[in-house]
């Protein structure tokens, strides 16, 4: 078996599947693996933040697919530990403008218990501009 030395963001975060994504709301399932955990089998907070952030970004894309969501700020509140196994990230758009949107999200365990909540301010940038800047950054 060969290790994947160039994982995608989705595989690095342990994404299982996008359950739903429509009209400003997205639900994504993730598998918390032991390598994502620290002492006592608790998922590292950066993964929790990343899971909710991804759900909020997908929620913005469900409304404005031609725009790239870029987080300006994000606040996460942790209520209970995420442990190895399945978790569900939900993200939704509270308000969207032409250049900015305000999103909220949460992470649930399979029984529906809320493990963490987040809110974010997202800058919306035309996808073509982001892709052009990325090409210039790598010399292409």
Q: How far apart are CA 8 and CA 4, in angstroms?
A: 9
Q: How far apart are CA 96 and CA 82, in angstroms?
A: 30
Q: Is residue 5 part of a domain?
A: no
Q: Is residue 91 part of a domain?
A: yes
Domain count, the chain: 1
Q: Is residue 1 part of a domain?
A: no
Residue 3: pLDDT over 60: no
- For residue 87, give the nearest of 1, 9, 16 by alpha carbon: 16
Q: Are 122 and 71 in contact (CB under 8 A)?
A: yes
Which pLDDT belongs to residue 139?
Answer: 84
What's 97's domain CATH number?
Answer: 3.10.129.10
Q: End-to-end CA distance of the chain, in Å?
A: 34
Q: Is residue 3 part of a domain?
A: no
Residue 1: pLDDT over 50: no
Containing domain of residue 21, as a range?
Answer: 10-137
Indicate the pLDDT class of residue 55, thresholds 50, 70 and 90.
Answer: very high
Indicate the pLDDT class of residue 140, thresholds 50, 70 and 90.
Answer: low
Q: Is residue 54 part of a domain?
A: yes
Q: Is residue 2 part of a domain?
A: no
């Amino acid at each position: 078996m060969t290790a994947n030395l160039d994982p995608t963001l989705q595989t690095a975060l342990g994404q299982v599947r996008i359950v739903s994504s429509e009209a400003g709301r997205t639900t994504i399932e993730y598998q918390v693996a032991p390598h994502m955990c620290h002492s006592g089998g608790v998922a590292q907070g950066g993964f929790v933040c990343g899971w909710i952030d991804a759900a909020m970004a997908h929620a913005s894309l469900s409304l404005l697919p031609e725009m790239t969501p870029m987080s300006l700020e994000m606040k996460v509140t942790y209520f209970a530990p995420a442990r190895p196994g399945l978790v569900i990230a939900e993200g939704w758009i509270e308000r969207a403008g032409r250049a900015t949107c305000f999103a909220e999200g949460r992470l649930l365990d399979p029984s529906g218990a809320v493990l963490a909540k987040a809110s974010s301010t997202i800058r919306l940038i035309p996808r073509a501009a982001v892709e052009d800047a990325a090409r210039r950054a790598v010399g292409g």
